[in-house]
Amino acid sequence: MRKHLKRRTFLRGALGGGIASIALPALDAMMNLEQTAFADGSSQPRRYVSWFRGNGFMLDRFEPIGVGPDWQLNDHMQPLAGVKDYLNVVTGTTNRAKDQITHHEGMTVFSGYSFADKGQGQGFFSNAGGPTLDAVISQLLAGQTPIAGVHLGASKAQSPADEGTTMHHLSHRDHLQPNPATTNPSAAWEALFGSFAQPKDDRELRLHILDSVKGEVSTLQSKLGAEDNVRLEAHLDSIAALEAKLSAAVPVCDLPADPMFTNSESINTEQLTLVNELMSDLICYAFNCDLTRVATMLFLEGAAEPTLSEIMGSSDSWHQYSHNVQSWAPGAAFDNGQIYMMERFGYLLTKMRDTVEFDGTNLLDNSMVLMSSDASDGSVHSIRRHPMLVAGHGGGHLKYPGVHYQPEALSGNYSYGSHPGPTSGNTSDVLLAILQGFDPEASWVGEQLNDQGDGAGSGTPLAEILA
Amino acid sequence: MNFRTPFLSSAVRCLSALALAVVAPGCKGGGGDDDGMADGDSTAGTEGTGDESAESGGDDFTPPPGGMRRLLDYQYINTVGYMFGPEAAAVAIPPADQSLFGYTSIGNSLISPGLDLVETYESSALRIADAAIANPNTLAGIVPCVKDSPDEACYTTVAQTLGHLAWRRPLTDDEVQAVVEIALEAQAWGAGDFNAGLKYELVRILLSPDFIYVVETGEQDPNEPEEYWLTGPEVVTRLSLLLIGRGPSLTLLKSAEAGNYDSVESVETLARAMLNDARAPEAVSEFFAEYLALEEIPAKNPASFPLYSEALVDSMVEETELLLRDVIWTQDTDFRDFIESDYTFVDARLAELYGLPAPANDWDQVMLPADQARAGFLSHASVLARNSHYDGNSTTRRGLYIQQRFLCYAIPPPPPDVNPNLPEPPDDTPMTLRELMETVHLEVDSCAVCHAHMDPLGFTLENYDALGAWRTQEPNGLPIDPVTEYGDFGQIGSATDLAANVAMDPRLGQCIVNNMIRFGRGSLENPTKESAELQELYASFETANYRFQELLIAFVTSELFLQVGEPK
């Protein structure tokens, strides 16, 4: 009998549930046959990744020990020991989002924009106020790769209480322009590589169809108002995105096989470790083949309520644990989960380090990977001392070996379940530092400051992490 | 019938336009057009004879902006099925819709598409075209030449006829030419094969924004410049999508283009015909799928809930679907029965969960067990399991669900100084979940501000575990106490009491109306600018004894449905 109320089932899991992992073959002999030299003189392009895991950190177990060039990994960063030299860690700085709902304001750390449209009579509602850094970079790199950016996720769980675009997406091209994450590895593969795996001698025809359709788009543009014209512009961008793919030559690199895994398990039984590996592998292939230079990974959205059964001792929801500091004891579920999250992030970094580029460098040499969350101390939804970890040498743009930048040490009075302090600076300084790796002329990121001088934007790149 | 109130006021609006000898769009008289056919595009009505006290304009009503909204996934698939047959529908995979304010219809009206939108539509269109050509009977029913005379002239016929149906408007000559050019180019590329040309012609038609987006701009009311009446074709499109889940037939479109659906009476006649269509229950269930959001039932810990399986979850959702359909379609009765019915539908899995004898058939209607205090949907396993955790109950989520979805009470964000960190419960004292929540959510003032509206409602459902099975004690052996107090409800002793209170709450009907509006037109209701019209619709639902089909009729014949503002 059809399940009429379960309407979304037909959209996911079109492929059977066989589990497979992508065996990454040795990535030798490939790419960039034109031997282009990039602006910085390197032969490989710079890439950017945003990586998100919801509900914050345990600061005293996360913030590195020592500052400057001589710093040590704290307990929760131990999974990154193998790539420590590639890490620049920024702690103690302030996320300057102008307003708060709980969780929503934390997302500003990836954009420098405060959220918009608060409440709307709908409770925990907001929309992202502006573009996230990944989208700004995609815009800068427009036309240089067939795909502007790839947006991936691991868990399908969404916060049951939060509404609007802010919390459910990591990437936004602008207000009401989210880039939804794909949580289905097979679909992600199809979007990245599928078109190269099929015969496409009809490309020219299909390009003509796309061109032909534009006439109707402009007729609509003339009939509709400003808001719908923004959406029609996005529609034209989407046509351009397909045109770029159809016009792209088949990349001269190893194309991965379809992982044949759709991540269709019910929430609470998702195989997030496997999904993360498959998605990380796809990012590495896509970067290595230069199909795109921008990726985002929404591992688990903030305030989502899944029980992460792959975390030792976990029987309650991750969000619940974040608000229950009894689970923050060493060896308890939230503590274990912090390590679990960093292991997942570490998988991507290690895979990037092990992916060799045409010129003998590796992906991590040429990338900047920003990891953060929607809070510093998630139990109180704090955005004071909001940690940001930037992995990768960034094609020579960032310090290597990396440093720990921390304006002031965590107060000895801090305890779980309180707002951490002291805090100063501006997390968006990190965003501008990264952005300048793609646009040396960039002088501002995020929103403009208001008359009172409040706002989350920045015009001062964090020099301490720049090479 | 009492639900005619909004209908009369619309008729008045029309008469005022006619009195000025300016025929307002949507107010033209309809000649009886006898194009009766299967999918409800039957007859147009005649001019309304409403109250003669014509209004001179200048009311407080401002409809939501007009503009374009993207076809919802099921509307796209159903329309593809209508044009090309079930094989094509089976391979139609449109881009995922995005929800805003709880509804994809609002998301598809306000959120910009992702950059992979057209690629997804193109992949889908290529598959659809292949399937349509391999199984041409449905298409040939619309454009016979694809089988009878597959030649170049047929490409023109396809562009004109199928194009008209797909784009919901006649194509200009230039547009026909643009479509045929693609067909001819593809035919040449395919070494003269007619079907090669046809395939890419179909792709061309399906990739047009005129197929993908529904445009609703209407025509300005001469007396009320901020009000635009949807044109006849726009009305029948909006109506078809809502009531039968797909775009209108070509016959209906042409009839609307001829002016046959410009009166409110004709809209009502058409809506009633559509509600009798076999596709209506499924289309209406699309509303409830989003309203009740039961696709989000999370998995349970198998060690604690050995009965849990994905098949059981499917049965839970089906139980709710069957009760909905019974109330709305089979009984056509008071919708509040959905909230407090004393019967339900079970299969063998659910019977085991509820402790009932196995049914004789796959599904049987049964009385709820007398000793479990169950009543209606609120004690269905579906909603109980949805609002529970992996390994236990959540009084908060159960209460929140009822507040948000049935009473339209939005829990405000916590005050800035709130400490959301859970206080530590006393050590060594075994507590029930309720006692724990009373300690951590209700004793601390800053938490209680919000939680006082959620947890107490959840307490009354503590007799049902995270899978929805009856229990009288918690796993730790402590007894359940479901008796609580909440606001105007006063003392609530059980789930049955809770259901009765929710069912009798005047906010319930209004909340359902609000949600119906959001889903049906893709925009939030506006209590300020649409106040009188909303009150009328609330009243007509009540006076129709809360029959959901009558709510639909009252809605689609009201200005809330038939008008838009300036395009956004």
* Model confidence pLDDT, tens digit, residues A126-182: 999 999 999 999 999 999 999 999 999 999 999 988 999 999 999 999 999 999 999
Residue from A1, A4, A15 whose CB has the most chain B CBs within 10 Å, to mutate: A4
Q: How confident is the model at residue B58, as a pLDDT? A: 57
Instruction: Note whether A3 contacts B317, CB cutoff 8 Å.
Output: yes
Q: Is B360 exposed, middle or buried (0-12, 13-18, 19+ CB in 10 A)?
A: exposed
CA distance A467 to chain B (A): 34
Of B446, B304, B453, the residue nearest B385 (C-alpha):
B304
Contacts of B215 in chain A (CB under 8 A): 220, 223-224
pLDDT, average across residues A248-268? 90
Q: Where are the domains of chain B?
A: 65-213, 291-504
Contacts of B567 in chain A (CB under 8 A): 223-225, 228
**B-chain residue closest to A322, CA distance:** B421
Longest dimension (CA), chain B: 85
Q: How confident is the model at residue B240, as a pLDDT? A: 98
Q: How confident is the model at residue A220, as a pLDDT? A: 97
Tokens 């049955």 belong to B496
Question: In the numeric block, which tokens belong to residue B199?
Answer: 């395939």
Q: How confident is the model at residue A201, as a pLDDT? A: 85
pLDDT, average across residues A218-245? 96
**A-chain residue closest to B171, CA distance:** A216
From residue A146, give the alpha-carbon distance in Å to each of A98, A177, B339, B435: 37, 20, 53, 58
Contacts of B204 in chain A (CB under 8 A): 209, 212-213
pLDDT of A21 > 50? The answer is no
pLDDT of B46 > 70? The answer is no
Q: Residue A100 maps to which CATH number?
A: 3.40.720
> Does residue A15 belong to any structural domain of this protein?
no
Q: How confident is the model at residue A24, as a pLDDT? A: 35
Instruction: Note whether A178 contacts B98, CB cutoff 8 Å.
Output: yes
Q: Give the one of A14, A119, A316 whose C-beta lies nearest to B391's C-beta.
A: A316
Q: Give the one of B317, B362, B567 whose C-beta lies nearest to A223's C-beta.
A: B567
Are A406 and A296 part of one and the same domain?
A: yes
Question: In the numeric block, which tokens belong to residue B89?
Answer: 């529908």
Distance, CA of A422 to CA of A94 (rounded, Å): 9
Average pLDDT, chain B: 89
Are A415 and A450 part of one and the same domain?
A: yes
Are A248 and A266 part of one and the same domain?
A: no
**B-chain residue closest to A228, CA distance:** B568
pLDDT of B52 > 50? The answer is no
> Does residue A77 belong to any structural domain of this protein?
yes
Are A331 and A298 part of one and the same domain?
A: yes
pLDDT one-digit tens code per residue, B515-533: 999 999 999 999 999 999 9
pLDDT one-digit tens code per residue, B126-143: 999 999 999 999 999 999
Distance, CA of B287 to CA of B520 (rounded, Å): 8
pLDDT, average across residues A59-85? 98
Residue from B103, B104, B115 whose CB has the most chain A CBs within 10 Å, to mutate: B115
Q: How confident is the model at residue A27, as a pLDDT? A: 35
Are A130 and A183 part of one and the same domain?
A: yes
Which of A187-201, B54-68, B149-163 has maximum average pLDDT?
B149-163
Of A207, A228, A254, the position where a domain reaches its end is: A254
Which domain range does residue A203 map to?
Answer: 198-254
Tokens 């929503």 belong to A104
Contacts of B282 in chain A (CB under 8 A): 4
> Does residue A233 belong to any structural domain of this protein?
yes
Q: How confident is the model at residue B12, as a pLDDT? A: 36
Q: How confident is the model at residue A1, as a pLDDT? A: 30
Q: Give the one of A163, A228, A238 whose C-beta lies nearest to B115's C-beta.
A: A238
For residue A164, the tally of other CB atoms under 10 A from its CB is 26
CA distance A87 to chain B (A): 31
pLDDT, average across residues A333-348? 98
Q: Give the one of A161, A164, A325 whose C-beta lies nearest to B100's C-beta.
A: A164
Q: How confident is the model at residue A30, as a pLDDT? A: 35
pLDDT, average across residues A261-284? 96
CA distance A206 to chain B (A): 8
CA distance A341 to chain B (A): 20
**A-chain residue closest to B203, CA distance:** A209
User: In degrees, to the nearest 5, what angle opens at C-alpha B192 toward C-alphas B191 and B197?
Assistant: 105
Of A254, A270, A290, the position where a domain reaches its end is: A254
pLDDT band at A39 (very low <50, low <70, confident <90, very high): low
pLDDT above 90 covers a percentage of chain B that reads 82
Question: In the numeric block, which tokens belong to residue A67?
Answer: 């500052």
pLDDT band at B199 (very low <50, low <70, confident <90, very high): very high
Of A207, A233, A254, the position where a domain reaches its end is: A254
Model ipTM value = 0.89
> Does residue A112 belong to any structural domain of this protein?
yes
Tokens 């991507």 belong to A348
Is it true that the peptide bond before B506 is cis, omega within 30 degrees of 0? no
Are A246 and A267 part of one and the same domain?
A: no
**A-chain residue closest to B109, CA distance:** A228
Residue from B78, B98, B118 whose CB has the most chain A CBs within 10 Å, to mutate: B118
Contacts of A10 in chain B (CB under 8 A): 77
Which of A318-332, A334-348, B57-71 has maximum average pLDDT?
A334-348
Q: How confident is the model at residue A123, as a pLDDT? A: 79
Instruction: Note whether B96 contacts A230, CB cutoff 8 Å.
Output: no
Beta-bridge mates of residue B103:
B100
pLDDT one-digit tens code per residue, B326-371: 999 999 999 999 999 999 999 999 999 999 999 999 999 999 998 9
Instruction: Note whether B189 contacts A226, CB cutoff 8 Å.
Output: no
CA distance B470 to chain A (A): 22
Instruction: Note whether B96 contacts A11, CB cutoff 8 Å.
Output: yes
B234, amino acid identity: E
Query: Which is more confident, A100 or B321?
Result: B321
pLDDT band at A381 (very low <50, low <70, confident <90, very high): very high
Instruction: Note whether A123 contacts B93, CB cutoff 8 Å.
Output: no
A239-253 in b/e burial notation, b at 16+ Cβ within 10 A?
bbbbbbbbebeebeb
Are A168 and A99 part of one and the same domain?
A: yes
Average pLDDT, chain A: 90
CA distance A459 to chain B (A): 28
Q: How confident is the model at residue A198, as a pLDDT? A: 66
Instruction: Note whether A212 contacts B301, CB cutoff 8 Å.
Output: no
pLDDT one-digit tens code per residue, B474-494: 999 999 999 999 998 999 999
pLDDT band at B17 (very low <50, low <70, confident <90, very high): very low
Contacts of B313 in chain A (CB under 8 A): 266
pLDDT above 70 covers a percentage of chain B that reads 88
pLDDT band at B450 (very low <50, low <70, confident <90, very high): confident
Are A220 and A186 part of one and the same domain?
A: no
pLDDT one-digit tens code per residue, B381-415: 999 999 999 999 999 999 999 999 999 998 877 76
Q: How confident is the model at residue A3, as a pLDDT? A: 36
pLDDT band at B416 (very low <50, low <70, confident <90, very high): low
Q: Give the one of B207, B215, B524 whose C-beta lies nearest to A223's C-beta.
A: B215
Contacts of B117 in chain A (CB under 8 A): 234-235, 238
Are A398 and A360 part of one and the same domain?
A: yes
* R_g of chain B computed on alpha carbons: 27
pLDDT band at B457 (very low <50, low <70, confident <90, very high): very high
pLDDT of A223 > 70? The answer is yes
**B-chain residue closest to A172, CA distance:** B114
Are A181 and A202 part of one and the same domain?
A: no
Pairing of strands A294-300, A47-53: parallel
Instruction: Note whether B100 contacts A163, CB cutoff 8 Å.
Output: yes
pLDDT of A315 > 80? The answer is yes
Instruction: Note whether B289 contacts A4, CB cutoff 8 Å.
Output: yes
Distance, CA of B84 to CA of B372 (rounded, Å): 50
From residue A57, give the alpha-carbon distance in Å to each of A176, A369, A388, A418: 28, 18, 11, 13
> Does residue A366 belong to any structural domain of this protein?
yes
pLDDT, average across residues A187-208? 87
For residue B346, the tally of other CB atoms under 10 A from its CB is 24
Question: In the numeric block, which tokens belong to residue B222?
Answer: 């001469």
Cβ atoms of residues A66 and A72 within 8 Å: yes
pLDDT, average across residues A14-35? 35
Q: How many CB pairs under 8 A join A and B?
A: 250
Q: Give the one of A11, A237, A315 whose C-beta lies nearest to B301's C-beta.
A: A315
Q: How confident is the model at residue B439, as a pLDDT? A: 86
Instruction: Note whether A235 contacts B320, CB cutoff 8 Å.
Output: no
Are A152 and A212 part of one and the same domain?
A: no
For residue B470, the tally of other CB atoms under 10 A from its CB is 18
Pairing of strands A162-163, A124-125: parallel
> Does residue A362 belong to any structural domain of this protein?
yes
Domains of chain A: total: 2
CA distance B46 to chain A (A): 31
pLDDT one-digit tens code per residue, A404-417: 999 999 999 999 98
pLDDT of B495 > 60? The answer is yes
Are A168 and A128 part of one and the same domain?
A: yes
Q: How confident is the model at residue B18, as a pLDDT? A: 34
